[in-house]
Amino acid sequence: MAVHAHPDDESSKGAATMARYVAEGAEVLVVTCTGGERGDVLNPRLKGDAEIERNIHEVRKAEMDRAREILGVTQAWLGFVDSGLPEGDPLPPLPEGCFALEKVETAAEPLVKLMREFRPHVVTTYDENGGYPHPDHIQCHRISVEAFDAAGDPDRYPEAGAPWQPLKLYYNQTFTKARILALHAAMLERTGSSPYEGWIQRFNSEDGQQRPEREITTRVPCGEYFELRDQALLAHATQVDPDGPWFSVPMEIQREVWPTEDFELARSLVDTTIPEDDLFAGVR
């Protein structure tokens, strides 16, 4: 079970890993907390399209369905409303009724219900910083941890079905400094330019230097599924620029320099040895 904040997050964080496990016969469920209703249209070809803007909720649902089909996963919506990404100094208040303002217990209950119905052995989500500090990503972390800890307890959320205890909880760590630096260096060496200049500047900023590196416990080899990952992300046409830097690193460089997707083991109820190369280590 992969728990994500918005449609498109599943395709940029752990998608190749999911595609690999689907190919190996695992059942994979993507849980999407919100509809992405407040997301901006980021594809220059689609900006200003009045019909898309009027129907953004339905458009993003259709994009999610296409990405689901490409990855071979199943998918469920929790049904909460996108909080948007507040900007300004000071930051404006979040909109009333949005996901990030829900009580953790209220927002976690439908996720507990899904865990008890789907009965996953492994759950992936974001760390306590949300991967980056979007309020929906942080709330996604909170409810994922709450649901993981509660799903096996018959005294908690008694109306949400028969107890089931997942065995491992991971945090996606796709955009690590080490990975970005490695790809940046490879692109400079082989092409003379890199799409990661902005990332490097942020890493070298005062805020970037103060942010500690996360521990990577688990590196899942999945390079042969990178094309599926990118196809799934491109299915979210309103959210990505197909000519943008995301897709500018040649596959052969990606597979040579960083052929894994990386995770941080946050909880394990089974014995395992770190480092791992499999989310199911100790389970199967």
Pairing status of strand 29-34 against strand 74-80: parallel
Tell me how far CA of residue 40 lies from CA of 53, 82, 132, 234, in angstroms. 9, 11, 17, 16
Q: Which is nearest to 226 in space by CA: 68, 16, 72?
A: 16
The answer to whether the annotation marks 137 as part of a ligand binding site is: yes
Is residue 40 within 8 Å of 73, Cβ to Cβ?
no
Q: Which is nearest to 125 in space by CA: 99, 147, 98?
A: 147
The answer to whether the annotation marks 6 as part of a ligand binding site is: yes
Task: Beginning with the edge strand found earlier in the chain, give each strand of the sheet holding 168-172 in spatial order.
Answer: 74-80, 29-34, 2-4, 122-125, 168-172, 260-268, 218-221
Q: Which is nearest to 132 in space by CA: 234, 82, 207?
A: 207
User: Alpha-carbon distance 29 to 31, whole Å?
Assistant: 6
Paired tokens of 80? 């909460």
Q: What Rg value do the Cα atoms of the chain yield, rounded?
A: 19
Cβ atoms within 10 Å, residue 176? 15
The answer to whether the annotation marks 121 as part of a ligand binding site is: no
User: Alpha-carbon distance 100 to 94, whole Å?
Assistant: 8
Q: Is residue 47 classed as helix, strand or coil in its secondary structure?
A: coil
| Nearest-10 Cα torsion for 179, 183, 184, 188 | 160
> Which parts are annotated binding residues?
6, 9, 137
> Which parts are annotated binding residues for Zn(2+)?
6, 9, 137
